[in-house]
Structure 1
Amino acid sequence: MVLFGVVQILFSQIPDFDQIWWLSIVAAVMSFTYSSIGLSNILIEIQDTIKAPPPSESKVVQKATRLSVATTTIFYMLCGCMGYAAFGDKAPDNLLTGFGFYEPFRLLDIVNIAIVVHLVGAYQVFCQPIFAFVERRAATAWPDSAFICRELRVGPFALSVFRLTWRSAFVCLTTFVAMLLPFFGDVVGLLGAVSFWPLTVYFPVEMYIKQRRVPRGSTKWICLQTLSVSCLLISIAAAAGSIADVIDALKVYKPFSG
């Protein structure tokens, strides 16, 4: 994790790192690599990147969105349902090594390398908007400050004292928190459960109703609201289960225990 944090400090100095065109391709290849290796353990993740021609961009994006949502829904539902049918609530966080088997070693090493490479890029994709937001606000608040606004370009790096200080501090903080939490899967499960309904269901449904002017009380409106409420109940149940797992983990919690 320390090495991961060091790498992120380096990459964080590259402005708009999340906009690099080949980043999504690398992430997709890495996802396919470790997902394919874990297929005998029904651990599947598919990501796709489509470069659409400008004239038909809207149609291509709509088609890609429908295809990606349908694909991920089918695969994740299969993984969840079949995984629970096979292992029940004893399913480990790591389906590859959770049962005490660590062979073949080289195959597991390939999986871990793919995951690390994927997460290196994913970290920047999520953090770069935060970096940009804070730096824009700081530049607006203190436009004459050399500490904030003065910049030195060295290849792809845009170096400034403020960026180096604040981004490095942010990465160090997140790395410290990651090292402090040994029950990674439980925390991720809780965050996923809490964010699923508002980000994946509620807001998209409400935006669709607003854009398409779906009449209140109509059959379509009732179906969409039923879907939203059903997913809310699922999120609440998943969050409750994740909270129970976190509480169990805290009972034997030892900081920095791995």
Structure 2
Amino acid sequence: MTMEKGSSNNHQQQSFEVSNIATADSKFFDDDGRLKRSGNKWTASAHIITAVIGSGVLSLAWAIAQLGWIAGPSMMLLFAFIIYYTSTLLSVGYRTGDQLNGKRNYTYTQAVRAYLGGYKVKLCGIIQYVNLFGVAIGYTIAASISMMAIKRSNCFHSSGGKNPCHMNGNLYMISFGIVQILFSQIPNFDQLWWLSSLAAAMSFTYSTIGLGLGVGKVIENKGFKGSLTGITVGTVTQTQKIWRSFQALGNIAFAYSYSLILIEIQDTIKSPPSESKTMNQATLISNIITTFFYMLCGCFGYAAFGDSSPGNLLTGFGFYNPFWLLDIANAAIVIHLVGAFQVFCQPIYSAVEKTAAKRFPDNDFINKEIEIPIPGIVSPLKINLFRLVWRSFFVIVTTIISMLLPFFNDVVGLIGAFAFWPLTVYFPVEIYIVQKRIPKWSTKWICLHILSVACLMISLAAGIGSVAGIVTDLGVYKPFHAMY
């Protein structure tokens, strides 16, 4: 994935300081001395679409099944509008002061520091990194589910449908973790471009297959399934209906959110016109395209399966023909999540390693690169012991937690709920108020805070629903013994 949700263009932080050259020749350099940016509304739109369309799309049919034909699509449209609007608020935070000539803020945290400062900077950082950590867990679970789906599909067909093919998911999570330990030794985000690009292609592959299979299932059923109010009480209890409806909001929020990387995408845009103006156009274009695609996937998935829509759309088609197409889709998910995991975790890796190097500048364990010559390759392999130990430990911890909580929908809903209000609404609203100097208690000030409080309520409801789902699942689950 070129820029998956929560990614960080660390290479931009390492650009050469060439402000003296920029003064002499502004044809090649921008006002901050960095190489001239060339992005426009179309490239920015592409970044957003690539970042947003990921594994979250697989849970949308389930989310609509909890809410029904009326509330489900309505909530998807509402989230699309909120995220579009708050993105336009956040875009003004790219520059401090004047939108054409003000000082640039290269990351979300820098924008928060420039406009809000104080404890809010640390709060933003904590929320960012906890969210990235949660996504790593969610992706480990999702990857294992897809690997098992491939194995079970082949088992089912080889036995002629006689073997239920139950299996333990832990082996697949461990396998995914081993692969991530290897890829985590790639030093920084710059060197992941090939893995990121491959992941982007895979996300569109499995999303399109899911949509196509949903359409085919509707045609096979000769009609749409589902109801106006979603899954009925009786199929689930009244309490479960409420919790699941709340959890569905978190799943939708997870599928749409990209605020975490908006400022970094904006930092690729050329000016004039102002970056915020171009970014707002890109946000509108990408939101329309993403919402249209999501509505198709979510609605056709619900129409195909009705109230029994699965938490992961691609696992709901069972092991029926064309099983080879489902195998391709699930393989695409695994490949995508291998890259997406790295894109989300590199900012965490970088933050810890830079902090350690700054605190212990003379420590060889932390700072020394060991070069290992490889026959036939010009450049030797460079290994840093601290990077090897710390990143391996991080992957092991995420893998263990995934094995303890292998509940895809619950985890995705919790991540979406946790990040939605602070990162998508609260900080953008506060930055906009400071940047535009909106008077306290003015009509616009009050309206913005009403929006913020309303979205806080949505986040809390989604979080409570997801936690309730996890607690319910844990009641019948034996740790490390999950069978599928």
Shorter chain as normaliser: what TM range? 0.7 to 0.9
Correspondence for 1:64 among 282, 285, 289: 282
Query: How many pairs does the alignment contain?
Result: 256
Query: 2:428 maps to what in 1?
Result: 204
Structure 2: which 5+ residue stretches go unaligned? 1-172, 216-251, 259-264, 373-378
Q: Matched residues in 2 for 1:204 and 1:143: separation?
A: 36
Distance change >3 Å, CA 53–CA 141, structure 1 → 2? closer
- Give the superposition deviation at 1:124: 1.2
Query: 1:170 maps to what in 2?
Result: 394
Greater RCO, 1 or 2 (C-alpha within 8 Å, sep 6+): 2
**Deviation per residue, 1:85-116 (Å, 9 max, x gap):** 88676432112323645432111111112211
Instruction: Note if contact 1:37-1:111 (Cα within 8 Å) is conserved in structure 2.
Output: yes
Q: Matched residues in 2 for 1:9 and 1:185: separation?
A: 25
Q: Are 1:129 and 2:129 an aligned pair?
A: no
Query: 2:311 maps to what in 1?
Result: 93
**Deviation per residue, 1:128-152 (Å, 9 max, x gap):** 1111121122222222222111103
Task: Name the aligned partner's letter for residue 326 of structure 2.
Answer: L
Query: 1:238 maps to what in 2?
Result: 462
Query: 2:331 maps to what in 1?
Result: 113
Instruction: Note if contact 2:371-2:381 (Cα within 8 Å) is conserved in structure 1.
Output: yes
| Larger CA deviation: 86-95 vs 134-143 | 86-95
Alignment root-mean-square deviation, CA? 3.3
Task: Name the aligned partner's letter for residue 35 of structure 1.
Answer: S
Structure 1: which 5+ residue stretches go unaligned? none
Classify the secondary structure of the residue corresponding to 1:152.
strand
Query: 1:191 maps to what in 2?
Result: 415
**Deviation per residue, 1:60-86 (Å, 9 max, x gap):** 444223333444456556766786788
| Larger CA deviation: 25-34 vs 14-23 | 14-23
- Give the superposition deviation at 1:238: 1.7
Distance change >3 Å, CA 85–CA 105, structure 1 → 2? closer
- Give the superposition deviation at 1:159: 0.8
Distance change >3 Å, CA 139–CA 33, structure 1 → 2? same
Task: Name the aligned partner's letter for residue 245 of structure 1.
Answer: G
**Deviation per residue, 1:15-37 (Å, 9 max, x gap):** 11366444543332211111111
Q: Are 1:249 and 2:421 an aligned pair?
A: no
So what's the TM-score if we normalise by structure 2? 0.47
Q: Matched residues in 2 for 1:74 and 1:158: separation?
A: 45
Describe how 1:9-28 pairs up with structure 2 within 5 A: 9-17=181-189, 20-28=192-200
Query: 1:161 maps to what in 2?
Result: 385
Correspondence for 1:221 among 430, 433, 445: 445
Q: Matched residues in 1 for 2:414 and 2:450: separation?
A: 23
- Give the superposition deviation at 1:231: 1.6
| Larger CA deviation: 129-138 vs 20-29 | 20-29
Q: Are 1:30 and 2:202 an aligned pair?
A: yes
Classify the secondary structure of the residue corresponding to 1:15.
coil
Instruction: Note if contact 2:203-2:332 (Cα within 8 Å) is conserved in structure 1.
Output: yes
Larger Rg computed on CA atoms: 2
So what's the TM-score if we normalise by structure 1? 0.82
Distance change >3 Å, CA 67–CA 113, structure 1 → 2? same
